[in-house]
Amino acid sequence: MPIHNADIAAIFEQVADLLEIEGANPFRVRAYRNAARTVGEFGQELAALVAAGQELPHLPGIGDDLAGKIREIATTGRLTLLERLRGELPPALTELLEVPGLGPKRVKALHEALGVDTVEQLRAAAEAGRIREVPGFGPKTEQRILEHLRGPGEPERRLLLAVARQYAEALAAHLRATPGVQQVEVAGSYRRRKETVGDLDILVTAADAAPVMGRFTAYDEVREVLSQGPTRASVVLASGLQVDLRVVEPASFGAALHYFTGSKAHNIAIRKRGQARGLKINEYGVFRGKDRIAGETEQSVFAAVDLPWIPPELREDRGEIEWAARAPLPRLIERADLRGDLHCHSRASDGHATLQELAAAARAAGLEYLAITEHSQRLTVARGLGTERLLKQCEEIDALNARLDGIVLLKGIEVDILEDGRLDLPDDVLSQLDLVIGAVHSHFDLPPARQLKRLLRAIDHPHFTLLAHPGCREINKRPLLDIDWLRLVRHARQRGCFLELNAQPKRLDLTDVHARMAKEEGVLVAINSDAHAVHDLDDLDYGIGQARRGWLTAEDVLNTRPLPELRKLLGNG
């Protein structure tokens, strides 16, 4: 059975979790987390290279030991180290990691303080009010845990968009290779570029449905066939992802693509609009009585209800239909609109590339400028920079810019916002930089009022430029900050600061809702990769998808500006 990069990354993440629970060296834990990210986002399928007898490419942060483990997973689907770690811990302890808000550090704390090894013991401790007494928790965290454990059973499993992409594109390519296939499209939330995907809907047109259905259900990664008929089938892949396939006739393809792209709320609104015009709209077409009047293309479906084609990212029934009915929709931002990237890390902190390698990669990606923004000194696990090292890097950037052609490196820092809102480096150092990115990396559970006060104080700093990953979330792991978002956005506008849309697939932070709020309040958004290796620049594509879901145009995005205009906006033009 094929092993995808996402499968290898998941095993490395599990190793990191268990090592952290055991109290292993933090740098060893971080090595596995970095490897998981590097492998999970790498463009080539590593297992396919191993199967072909080829050497693994040099990947940042992955030496001989980790490369050997990649080969072991690619060859066997298992990792001996992971099995050993599982044997050293109570078997149910790892189930606690599935509870929202319980990362490895908190699982370890509960294990040591309360002897909690199972979900049942966790529930009993929460109901008895004992969790709030453990340092680092508190009543609010305890209540969230209890609400989850008392919730309606197992939550829907949703994959990060970047992970779902590996399974979706491989399966779509497999189906396109079927003789007689004409069109293959992955629809659903995947096509709308939602940050997580619960299942996949694939639509196909073909001269004959039977070969498509046979090739689909016989796919190597299919674990279970849930149903199969002449033109539709449903399977579960080894990854646990459910995939539904429908073979439709060409005359219905556009209607089916619209129907299965969704969202449900958008589709209902379109059907109601059709009903007001005496039309019936479904997955087979647009009908007036028994006559199909549209359906071959999506454009024909929208035209039948007097609308232009609406981009999939906007189809959430958040005003897109009303807007399109009265005026042209905004031209949403595209990847080609980006002129630069304002957040990346080199080897000087926790990145894996030199300044020159990052510059070359950015130029190859079509960018004109790239900001080097290492972590600041407080983040010791990321080898953050203090004053001396930062000023030395500024000199290196100046010297390198004198030699570079077609790309300019900007001098910056991702400075930690301390618990009280102060910044982690002195003013006389920050004043020498092109931009200062402020970021929260600790104390995520402060009361909402204190958390907001912390952020507002940071934004008020005279050298503050941009708030990085403002919600501090990690999708499926750490929730969004609970703050007054409108007040934060308006404060950034008053101060002339900007907000980041962090394009890391595990973050995609700003959310689409908050990106649109920033647009409506006149705050420019920077779509940044937060790259730690050269291939991380590819993550900008995910940031573009999130920005489009937030209705952003090129004019709403800070780093679509040419460098002279950008410098003026940054206050150093």
CATH code of 275's domain: 3.30.210.10
pLDDT of res. 1? 66
Does 226 map to a domain? yes
> Mean pLDDT throughout 7-21?
91
User: DSSP string spanning 348-403?
Assistant: TTT-SS-HHHHHHHHHHTT-SEEEEEEEBTT-GGGT-B-HHHHHHHHHHHHHHHTT
User: What phi and psi values does residue 392 have, to the nearest 5 degrees?
Assistant: -65, -40
DSSP state of 204: E
- Please tell me the pTM assigned to this model: 0.84
Lowest mean pLDDT among 62-76, 151-165, 473-487: 151-165
Six token digits for residue 380: 């010791």
Claim to verify: residue 406 and residue 472 sit in the same structural domain: yes
Are 420 and 517 found together in one domain? yes
Q: In this structure, are 463 and 477 located in the same domain?
A: yes
Q: Over the stretch 134-144, which tens digit does the pLDDT of each residue have?
A: 887 888 888 88
Q: What is the pLDDT of residues 466-493, one digit of tens each?
A: 999 999 999 988 889 999 999 999 999 9
Let me know whether 211 and 272 are in one domain. Answer: no
Boundary of a domain, candidates 326, 345, 369: 326
Q: Are residues 209 and 308 in the same domain?
A: no
Long-range CB pairs of 78-86 (<8 Å, 24+ gap) are: 79/11, 79/15, 81/15, 82/11, 82/14, 82/15, 82/18, 85/15, 85/18, 85/19, 85/22, 86/18
Task: Answer yes or no: do 316 and 346 share one domain.
Answer: no
Q: Token match 């204190």: residue?
A: 450
Cα end-to-end distance, the chain, whole Å: 56
> By the 8 A CB rule, do 520 and 27 touch?
no
Q: Which residues contact 265 (CB under 8 A, 6 or more apart)?
A: 316, 317
Residue 83 lies in a domain: yes
pLDDT the model gives residue 573: 55
Return the pLDDT at 137. Answer: 84
Same domain membership, residue 517 and residue 390 = yes
| Residue 203 and residue 344 in one domain | no
Report phi then psi at 290, rounded to 5: -95, -5
CATH assignment of the domain containing 363: 3.20.20.140
Query: Tokens 């609406």 label which residue?
Result: 310
Asked whether residue 163 falls in the same domain as residue 265, the answer is no
Q: Which of 326, 348, 367 is the last residue of a domain?
A: 326
- As a whole number of angstroms, the distance between CA 72 and CA 55 comes to 14
Question: Whole-angstrom Cα distance, residue 2 to residue 12?
Answer: 17
Domain that holds residue 103: 5-149
Of 247, 281, 309, which marks where a domain is finished?
Answer: 247
* Per-residue model confidence as pLDDT tens digits over 545-554: 999 999 999 9
Average pLDDT over residues 373-389: 89
| 550 found inside a domain | yes
* Average model confidence (pLDDT) across the chain: 93
Whether 232 and 275 have beta carbons less than 8 Å apart is answered as no
Examine the domain organization and report whether 367 and 430 are in the same domain.
Answer: yes
Which of 384, 394, 382 is closest to 429 using CA atoms?
Answer: 394
- Compare 153 and 548 and report the one with higher pLDDT: 548
Spatial distance between the Cα atoms of 456 and 444, rounded to a whole number of angstroms: 15
In a domain, 154, yes or no: no
Q: Which CATH number covers residue 170?
A: 3.30.460.10
Domain count, the chain: 4
Question: Rounded distance, CA 134 to CA 215, Å?
Answer: 54
Q: Is residue 305 domain-shared with residue 171, that is, in the same domain?
A: no
Query: Could you read off the pLDDT of 410-458 as tens digits, one per residue?
Result: 999 999 999 999 999 999 999 999 999 999 999 998 999 999 999 999 9
Residues 533 and 445 occupy one common structural domain: yes
Residue 244: strand pairing partners: 201, 234
